[in-house]
Amino acid sequence: MCDTFVVLPPFTADGSIIFGKNSDREPNEAQALEYHPARAYPAGQTVKCTYLEIPQVRETHAVLLGRPFWMWGAEMGANEKGVVIGNEAVFTKMPRDRKGRLIGMDLLRLALERADTAEQAVETIVQLLSDYGQGGICGLDDKRMTYHNSFICADPKEAWVLETAGPLWVTREVVGVASISNGLTIGEEFDACHPDAIHTAKQKGWLKSGETFDFSKCFSDWFYTTFSACGKRQSRSFGLIREEETQKGGGGFDVPAALHVLRDHQEDVYHPDRHLLGDRICAHAANSLARNATQSTGSLVAHLKPEVHAYWATGTSAPCTGIFKPVWFGSSPLPDIGPVPEGTFHPDSLWWHHERLHRSVLLDYPARIDAYRQDRDALEGEFLEKAGQVKSEERSELSERAFAQAREATDRWTERVQGLPAERRPGWIYRRFWNRRNRRAGIEI
């Protein structure tokens, strides 16, 4: 499960557009933070997506991606034009296709590689849906996991929500604030929809005679939508955004506020083993019943102004235990962050290097997160301050320093945390769940 939001003027402090997303997946589903430069291709070239091979376009944009290691597509990302996209799994009444078509993450990456604007990204996804459909297994270990997708597509001028149900779709331009969380949100008011959406709803008996067409009401699957707790998370993120900008006098939402939203647990003293459903924005896996694929495995914030597009990425799981680092497009957007992570522990990989800290904190979350929270906030604050002052030609150097400092700090914090006694150990089911994942990943805590 995931959460994605976007905030537009007049609610942002500097007139920018701010986008944020947590990518929630299985605990060992390491997510690669990676950059792919723009490329030109000869006519007739194809591109092999996760399951399906389709014709390649002649030119693709440079892209920054958060990509689950085993698939071609990405959960979130941006391109050199300032287009940013996040996707959400949604569960609908339309049949879910297990065959290898385009999965939602493929649609996202293809749109980033091909679109110059957010609206063009929406059009690209809609066309790909029409040409190839969506479908295929979307889980690492869970081979039953299939779903449809919703998206927020944003650029420095505007943002759109696109929601799908099988081949059907609906769009709405964002005014002010939008938040999506694993459930259809577009109801009676929309800008465009698939030409067969209303007819399909009537034909299947989901739209009664005399009723106004409501995409969400007609196509949402009640069971999965309810037990994904998407309504609670979507309401929480929307409320936090309005609270943050109101506390700053109205129109005050900024990047630190976006980081705060992505780290939210709804309570000051959080115990990740004490709730059943995945109803927290900063998500922690905990059991095989309802929270197996609810670990935040990557996080991204985009700060989109007309003249500069800055990105803040963890490159790691659990934003509450990690640190956001600045990234800009340019000649070398990302420093060396080690080998691309896979499903087992590798100490040189950025994602797995942080997992030693993350999974050590889980043994006594309240006490252990407090052991370094202030240090983390201070270091992140330093990055934010410098990013606001840095010259364009110095951005790559600042990004490289930030990643290096964050890695050094992670080593210090891991040693500090592991030196603390676990005075309040979590419940047996929770410990058993994580012990199994640790063994499977080959990581010792």
Q: Which residues are catalytic?
A: 2
DSSP letter assigned to residue 390: -
Helix, strand, coil shares, percent, the chain, to 5: 35, 20, 45
Structure tokens at 306: 């007309």
Q: CA 191 → CA 170, 255, 401, distances in Å? A: 8, 29, 44
Query: Is residue 325 packed enough to be buried (19+ CB in 10 Å), middle (13-18) or exposed (0-12)?
Result: buried
CA atoms of 146 and 125, how far apart (whole Å): 18
- In 185-322, beta strands by DSSP E: 192-193, 295-304, 309-313
Give CA torsion, residues 12, 321, 366, 421, to 10 deg. Answer: -160
CA atoms of 410 and 254, how far apart (whole Å): 26
Given a contact cutoff of 8 angstroms between Cβ atoms, the answer to whether 10 and 52 are in contact is no
Given a contact cutoff of 8 angstroms between Cβ atoms, the answer to whether 436 and 395 are in contact is no
Q: Which of 287, 294, 176, 149 is nearest to 232 (CA)?
A: 294
